[in-house]
Structures are given as structure tokens and as C-alpha cells.
Amino acid sequence: DQQVKQNSPSLSVQEGRISILNCDYTNSMFDYFLWYKKYPAEGPTFLISISSIKDKNEDGRFTVFLNKSAKHLSLHIVPSQPGDSAVYFCAASASNDYKLSFGAGTTVTVRA
């Protein structure tokens, strides 16, 4: 039962442009959301998180938006750089559950 869904397996974007990654969830108990980036042969690296009491969180080039009513969050990367080429995972946790539930990931390719 996939409670966190990333429906776009891949995304190609030109260097300098915006990358928008989307994530949908079904569990209404989720109230903390994270994005991780993963390079091949490495573990996931934490990027940015957001609590359900907020609708936006920004850290440098990365901004996460949360739409609770739509059960949807997105990650914006502006401007996209070649080093951003990686797999991005959306994850969520609920207040009654400490584990993270992950989406299947979106592979981002930044073209020069």
C-alpha cells in the first residue's frame, strides 16, 4: 500500500531553469514531510523538510510547498544545476508513527 506517491519517474530540465517535483500522499495522519536526494551508490541525503503547520519552507535554492487539503507537496529547485542530477525521494511521517514512508523517487536530469 503506497501511501506516498511520486507519479513522475523522471524529469529533464535545462540548467538554470526551475525543477518542480511533485508528491501526493493518502494518509491524512501524515504531518511531517521531507525530501531526500540520492546519488548512485550513496545513501539518501536530507534536503529539506516541512511540518504540516506550514505551507512553505525555503532553504537556499530549495523550496517545499505543502497543500494539505489536496494532500500534495512539491519541491522547487531554482536555478537547477548539473549537480542536482540525482534521484529525489519524498517521505512522510505521522505523529503516531516514527518511521518514514517513502515515494518511489523521481530521477532528475539537468541538461547543460
By the criterion CB under 8 A, which residues form the site for other proteins?
2, 4, 31-32, 34, 36, 41-46, 49, 51, 89, 91, 93-95, 97-105
Lookup: cell for 110: 539537468
Considering the complex, state which of residue 102 and residue 110 has its C-beta at the smaller distance from other proteins.
102
CA distance 66 to 43: 25
Tell me the closest approach of the beta carbon of residue 93 to other proteins, in angstroms: 6
Considering the complex, state which of residue 13 and residue 92 has its C-beta at the smaller distance from other proteins.
92
Range 38-41, long-range pairs (CB < 8 A, 24+ positions): 38/86, 38/87, 38/88, 38/89, 38/105, 39/86, 39/87
Residue 40, helix vs strand vs coil: coil
DSSP-assigned letter for residue 79: S
Tell me the closest approach of the beta carbon of residue 69 to other proteins, in angstroms: 21
Tell me the closest approach of the beta carbon of residue 68 to other proteins, in angstroms: 15
Tell me the closest approach of the beta carbon of residue 17 to other proteins, in angstroms: 27
Residue 82, helix vs strand vs coil: helix
Considering the complex, state which of residue 4 and residue 110 has its C-beta at the smaller distance from other proteins.
4
